[in-house]
Amino acid sequence: MTIGFQKTPGTPVEITFDAELGLPNDQQQLLLIGRAASGATGVATVITISNVSDVDAATTEAETKFGSGSELAKMVIAAVNANAAEARSTFPPIKCVPLESTDTTITAACQTAVKSTKAEFIVSPFDAATDTANRSTLSDMASTMSAAARVENNQFGSMGVAANMSVADPAGLDSPDTQYLTLAWFRNAAPSITVGELAAAYAAVLAGNVSPFVPVNGYVLGGIDAPDAQSDRITVGAGLESETALGLGWTPIRVKANDDVAIVRSVTSRITTNGVVAAGAYYDVQDFQVLYFWRKTLFTRFNQTDFANAKASVDKARAIKSEAIRLAQVFEDNEMFKSVSDLAKQFTVTVNASDRHRFDVVTPVNVIPGLHVIATTVRAGTQFDSISV
C-alpha cells in the first residue's frame, strides 16, 4: 500500500528522486591481459587492482596477485607508473585478466571474461605487428564490446591496445584498418621492457585523459626509458618516420631531447571509410572517446525516472528530442561538439515503422577535432624598405 491510497487520517511524507540532468561520470577504465606466474590463481577471471596511483603499492599488490616478475605484474606497474611518474591527477581504474604462464594466445576463457567487463581500453601483451592472430582477437573483442546492445552491460565503446618495438622501418607496418584498435610503434632494438608493458603505459595515458578528451600529443609515458641507440629514435615531422606510421594507422612513440618517451599523436588504426576511400576525419582516439561518451550520456539520461516506463506519446517524443538537443549543447559548452544549433534541426524522434512501442532517435553530431597542426607561413618582403627623412 502506498500513501496515494491511504484513507486513515495522517500526514505521510515520502521521498522521491528527480531525474539527474547532468553528464554521467567520464571515468575511463583499463583492462590488462597478460601472463601470470606459473601456478598463479585467478586465471581467466577479472581481478581488480586497488592501488592505481602509487607505484610501490601497485608493485606489491600486482606481484602478490600475479607473481613477482610475471608479465602481468610488470604491465600493471607500467600502467600505474605511466601517469604517476608524471604526477598526473587522473588515474584510471585497472582490472586484469590473467593468462597461464605458458599461454601464447588470448584464450577463449580469457575472451569470455574480458567481454563481460566494462573497459574503454583492453591491453594485449602480444606483439601488434608480428602476431596478427592475437591482434585480430583483440579487435574482435573490442568490436563486440562496442556493439549497440552492449550498453545494457554498461559497455559504451572499447578499443584494443597493443604495441610493437621490433619493426625498424615504419613502412613495414601493416594496417588492420579498424576503429577498434590503437597500436603503438616504438622502435627499440634492445628494449628493457616488453611490448605488453609499453602497451599498458600507452593505454594508461589514454584512459587518464577524460572529457573533453583533448589530444595527448607530447604526453610522456612515465617510467618508459629511451632506447640507448640513437638510431632507434624515430624522426618526427612531415615526410619523416612519424608521418609514415600515422598514415598506416599506428601511434608513433618518440624520444624528446631530454630523453622523455612521448606520444606523437594517438590514432586508431582506422585509415579508410570502406576499405578504399581514405578517412579524412574520425580516426583520432579522442574522437571515439567523445562519441562513446555521448552514447553513455544518452543511455544514462533516457534511463532516468522521467523516461522509464513511459507511454510512447507525442509529448514524450518531444521531450526525448528536447533532451537530446540540450545534452548536445552541454557537449558543445564543454568543447566536445560544435554547430549544435545547426544540427539540432536534423535531430529526429519517430515511431518505428514495424514496432509502435519503439522510438527511433537520430542525433547528428560534429565532434570538435583535436588541433594538431599550426602551419605558419613567414613572408619575407621589402614593403617598408624606403626611408624618407
Q: For residues 206 and 83, is the Cβ–Cβ distance under 8 A?
A: no
- 146: phi > 0 → left, psi -120 to 50 → alpha, else beta; which? alpha
Asked if pLDDT for residue 27 goes beyond 80, the answer is yes
C-alpha cell at 128: 601488434
- Average pLDDT score over residue span 21-36: 96
- Average pLDDT score over residue span 83-92: 96
Grouping H, G, I as helix, E, B as strand and the rest as coil, residue 34 is strand
Q: Is 107 exposed, middle or buried (0-12, 13-18, 19+ CB in 10 A)?
A: middle
pLDDT tens digit string along 277-291? 999 999 999 999 999
**Mean pLDDT (the chain, rounded):** 96
Asked if pLDDT for residue 4 goes beyond 80, the answer is no
Looking at residue 14, its pLDDT comes to 84
- Average pLDDT score over residue span 358-371: 98
Looking at residue 185, its pLDDT comes to 98
The proportion of the chain whose per-residue pLDDT surpasses 90, expressed as a percent, equals 92
The proportion of the chain whose per-residue pLDDT surpasses 70, expressed as a percent, equals 99
Looking at residue 194, its pLDDT comes to 98
Residues with Cβ within 8 Å of 29's Cβ and at least 6 positions away in sequence, in order, are 92, 93, 94, 95, 118, 119, 120, 121, 207
User: In degrees to the nearest 10, what's the CA dihedral of 337, 338, 341, 344?
Assistant: -50
Asked if pLDDT for residue 323 goes beyond 90, the answer is yes
Looking at residue 12, its pLDDT comes to 85
Asked if pLDDT for residue 77 goes beyond 80, the answer is yes
Ranking 7-11, 170-174, 192-196, 211-215 by mean pLDDT, the lowest is 7-11
Ranking 14-28, 145-159, 248-262 by mean pLDDT, the lowest is 14-28
Asked if pLDDT for residue 1 goes beyond 60, the answer is no
Asked if pLDDT for residue 200 goes beyond 80, the answer is yes
| More confident call, 154 vs 12 | 154
At residue 2 the predicted structure's pLDDT band, cuts being 50, 70 and 90, is low
Cα angle 222, 224, 229 (rounded to 5 degrees) comes to 140
